[in-house]
Structure 1
Amino acid sequence: MQGLMNWLERHIIPIASKIGNEKHLVALRDGFIGTMPATMAGSIAVLLNAFLRDFPTNWGWTGFVENMAPVISVNGYIWAGSLAIVAVIFSISLGYNLAKAYNVAPLSGAVVSIAAFIMGLTQSATTNLTLSEKLPANVIGLIEEAGGSVTDGTTIVAKAWGFFNFDAHMGGSGLFTAIIFGFVSVIIFSKLMQANLIIKMPDSVPPAVSKAFAAIIPACVALYTCGIINFAFSKATGLPMIDWITTTIQQPLLHLSQGFGSVLLIVFLIHLLWFFGIHGDNVMAPVLSTIWGNAMNQNMNAFQKGLEIPYKWVSGTFQAFVWPGGSGATLMLVCAILAFSKRADSLTVAKLSLAPGLFNINEPVMFGMPIVLNPLYMIPVILVPCVTAGITYFATMTDLVRPVVVSVIWVMPPIINGFLATGGDWHSIILSIVNLLVGFLIWTPFVFAANKVELEG
């Protein structure tokens, strides 16, 4: 065991520390965190509509749904301004944080990032109208003269310029494009700003005006670069670049994220880092947010619209079921200590850690017990979440529990968290209780072992 720990400390932990502090990944992580005010508001709106519209409709409470129509409509507005355009919001947040990492004007970075993202969106919309009867030839001719087309005489296909595609581009499905063009545009902008390729204004000019003029040349170069990339790609392939990114990069990664191996690997890495005192959630946040967070946004949008839920494992699944009470499911360690420990020091830490643990705050037990760098607790702090991940994976993939469809604030207590995250699926309560019991059973033998260590000492 000691040999393994020494090897990890020499070879793995330095790499993890560098990754955790790499400025581009930190900016990516903070970019996702920056969207939380909007995404949380959108999540609340989706959750409320589930209880005010979806469930009552299934129960036949049509009168209740009609009375709640104004509230449901307001929630729809909130959703449209948050989750429906989460890629737009993220693009702004990423640009701000990336420019900040380069120590250049953050607001200008946000403007450059959102402009680079928007320019790549398709600007026309196509709609199909299926008719119950076949159109006569003269009517078809009039439609074609107006710029439309008719298929089989019964389907009118109309296309118009000046429309963005919310579903395909501006929601969670546009996040990968926002990331790519956010990085390309803001890095170019930042490098040129650092190279002092700017328009300098006299000292008498107000600072706000001076900063705006200073950003003009770097911003123009960055945006023209992105514009040329989009133009050249569309000419070469006949596809908008955002659609190509979605098809060839985003969808394969999301498909891989649904495999048990991917889930188990990320859980293992997060808790291995935690054992060495590195905040595993923060280090892995770029992966969690980019891949599983994207799936989360698409699930929430589908749930709001009453569509089929596209992904069964999303970022919220980890928090709701895999590590209740915080990383390592340490709330169950606290309960096992309170039930079986004979060590005064452990009992004191457990009593102080119980209340925070109920709200998924486990730093007191992680560093107070401690679990960090404690060889006795290395196995359970990694094993428990891996086992609960396996149980949760089986339950969600076999449809015993509805997938997570609502983003719930991370301090929500276990059991309640899972119930709200699944949009009120009562099966989630059973799953949460099972995972808590399993965590308790795995942690308990190590508490007894800790008692023996105390006695031998």
Structure 2
Amino acid sequence: MTRLIDWLERYLLPLANDLASVRWLVALRDAFVSTLPISLTGSVAVLIKSLIVAADRNWGWHVFYQVMQPTVATCNFVWRGSVAMFALFFVLSWGYQLARACEVDPLAGAMTALCSFMMSIANYSYLLQGNKRVKLNQAFNIKQLSTTGMFTAILFGGLGVALYILGVKARLGLRIQSQMPPAQVAAFEAAIPVMLALFIVGGLNYLFQTITGQYFGDWLLEIIQLPLLKLGQGFVMVIAVTALTQLFWFFGINGSSALAPVVGSIWATAQNANLLAAANGHKIPYLWTSTSFVVFGVSGVCLPLVIAILLASKRGDHRTLAKVALAPAVFNVNEPMLYGMPIILNPVYFLPFTLAPLANVSLAYLATRLGWVNRVQASVPNIMPPVIGPYLACNYDWRALVLSLLNLLVAVLIWLPFVKAADKIGSQGEPRRFFMPQY
């Protein structure tokens, strides 16, 4: 075990630190995190609407359903203004965060990213009239502004901001007298870099469309985005990301943040597609999403340890810490156990800390694949208790409650032997305590 820890510390830790320090990846992570209020708002709207519809269909509350029609209509408006336009909000945040990370005007970066994105998606749509499909020019399909346009937003939004940053760093902006209002000074200084960036992006889109006959966003959806989303639904991908997340956390690096670009670009896109399908009453397309990863995997990782300690440990210091950490652990706040026990760089707890989430994710993936529980259809906050979170995320599926309790039981059973082993370690064998910064 010591050799394994040394090997991981020598080869994995530098990689994790490098990933956590790349400004582009940090900006991409922050962009996904900053859109959380939008996805949560849309999820709440879908959950409220689903509950009202379920009351009518399953319980026969027809009068209640009719009375609540204004609420249903309000939820439709909220959904259409939030998740249905997710790529639009994301590209604004992506441009803002990337420009801020590179220490240039973030507002200009956000607008440049938005313009670059809008130039790269098709400005036509189709209208069905009977069996005929009529093309409408100068019209944006709202689907392109949702999860369908996510990869276009990441790629061309990032390209536009990168060109703008290069222009600013090359000092191509206009120099304005300082007595002007700050907003005007910033606007004039950003004008030329933004103009150059947008003309380059526009020229690239023109060349691409001339050569291929397609808009870049449509091509990217067919060639890259859909295959990547399909790859993200595979069991190997789910297990690999879960294992890496736990390994990063073991060395004190926030694994969820370090892998946020992967989780966000693939599984968040799938999650928003599920949310759109649920809002429209369609079949849920994707088996695994970013919320699946959280509610069935890594979010409540320390609650089973707390329960195992309270059940089996005879060490007074461990039991005292577990009692203090119980309330935070119920709401998925893991830091008291991660740094107080500690779990980080503690070889005694390396295996259960890695194996318990892997077992939980495997069980949840299998149950979802077999149709024993609904697929995730809503986003829930990370602080939602482990049993309630899956119930809400799976659109009020009682089977998700059972799966959550089973996952909790499995995780506790995995932790128990190692908790008993830790009891036998005396003060001389106590693992070193490391307090490493989070990234």
TM-score, length of structure 2 as denominator length: 0.95
Measure, in 1, the Cα distance between the counterparts of 2:133 and 2:367: 43
**Per-residue deviation, 1:162:** 3.0
CA separation in 1, counterparts of 2:370 and 2:55? 22
Q: Which amino acid aligns with 1:364?
A: P
How many Å separate the matches in 1 of 2:56 and 2:260?
36
Q: Distance in 1 between matches of 2:54 and 2:95?
A: 37
TM-superposed deviation, 1:455: 8.5
- Tell me what 1:344 maps to: 316
Partner AA of 2:378 in structure 1: V
Shift of 1:61: 3.2
Aligned residue in 2 for 1:40: 40
How much identity, in percent, do the aligned residues show?
Answer: 41
The residue correspondences of 1:367-406 to structure 2 (distance < 5 A) are 367-406=339-378
Structure-2 residue corresponding to 1:158? 134
Which digits, 9 at most, give the CA deviation of each residue in 1:303-352, with x for residues without a partner?
Answer: 00000101011010022112352xxx210110110111111111121111
Is residue 29–residue 285 contact of structure 1 (8 Å, CA) maintained in 2?
yes
2:408 is the alignment partner of 1:436 = yes
1:271-282 maps to which residues of 2 (within 5 A)? Answer: 271-282=246-257
1:359 paired with 2:331, answer yes
**AA aligned opposite 2:139:** F
Q: Is structure 2 residue 184 aligned with structure 1 residue 209? A: yes
Q: For 1:417, which of 379, 382, 389 is the aligned residue? A: 389
Distance 1:227 1:190 in 2: 17
Q: Determine whether 1:61 maps to 2:61.
A: yes
Structure 2 matches for 1:253-332, cutoff 5 A? 253-323=228-298, 325=300, 329-332=301-304
Rounded to whole Å, the distance in 2 between the matches of 1:96 and 1:250 is: 23
SS of the residue aligned with 2:171?
coil
SS at match of 2:424: helix
Letter in 2 for 1:162: Q
Residue 145 of structure 1 corresponds to which residue in structure 2?
A: none
After TM superposition, give the deviation of residue 456 of structure 1 in Å.
Answer: 8.2
* Mapped partners of 1:25, 1:455: distance in 2: 41
Aligned to 1:113: 113
- Dislocated runs of 4+, deviation >4 Å: none
For residues 269 and 375 of structure 2, the distance between their equivalents in structure 1, rounded to whole angstroms, comes to: 14
Name the structure 2 match of 1:102.
102
The residue number in structure 1 matching 2:216 is 241
Deviations 1:422-446 (A, max 9, x none): 0001110110011000001000011
Report the more deviating stretch, 297-306 or 223-232: 223-232
Could you say which residue in structure 1 is the equivalent of 2:432? none
Q: Secondary structure at the match of 2:426?
A: helix
- Compare CA radii of gyration and give the structure with the larger one: 1
1:230 Cα deviation after fit = 1.2
Q: Which deviations, in whole Å up to 9, do the C-alpha atoms of 1:214-255 show, x marking residues without a partner?
A: 111100111111111111111111111101111111111110
Query: Residue 14 in 1 paired to residue 14 in 2?
Result: yes
The TM-score, its normalising length taken from structure 1, stands at 0.92
- Deviation track 1:197-224 (CA, whole Å, cap 9, x = no partner) reads 1011122221110110111110011111
Task: Please tell me whether the aligned partners of residues 297 and 361 of structure 2 are also in contact (alpha carbons under 8 angstroms).
Answer: yes
Give the letter aligned to residue 75 of structure 2: N
For 2:420 and 2:355, locate their aligned partners in 1 and report how far apart those are by CA, in whole Å: 17
- Mapped contact 1:57–1:65 kept (Cα < 8 A): no
Contact (CA 8 Å) 1:29, 1:286: kept in 2 or not?
yes
Whether contact under 8 Å (2:119, 2:202) holds in the other structure is: yes
- Structure 1 equivalent of residue 435 of structure 2: none
Alignment of 1:84-233 (within 5 A): 84-130=84-130, 155-167=131-143, 169-233=144-208
What amino acid is the match of 2:133?
A: V
TM-superposition CA deviations, 1:118-157 (whole Å, max 9, x none): 1222222211222xxxxxxxxxxxxxxxxxxxxxxxx343
Task: Indicate the residue corresponding to 1:72 in structure 2.
Answer: 72
Q: Deviations over 1:345-387 (max 9, x none)?
A: 1112111110000000001001100100111000000000111
Kindly report the root-mean-square deviation, in angstroms, between the aligned alpha carbons of the 2 structures: 1.3
**Retained in 2: the 8 A contact 1:324–1:436?**
no
Q: Which moved more, 1:121-130 or 1:86-95?
A: 121-130
SS in 2 for 1:247: helix
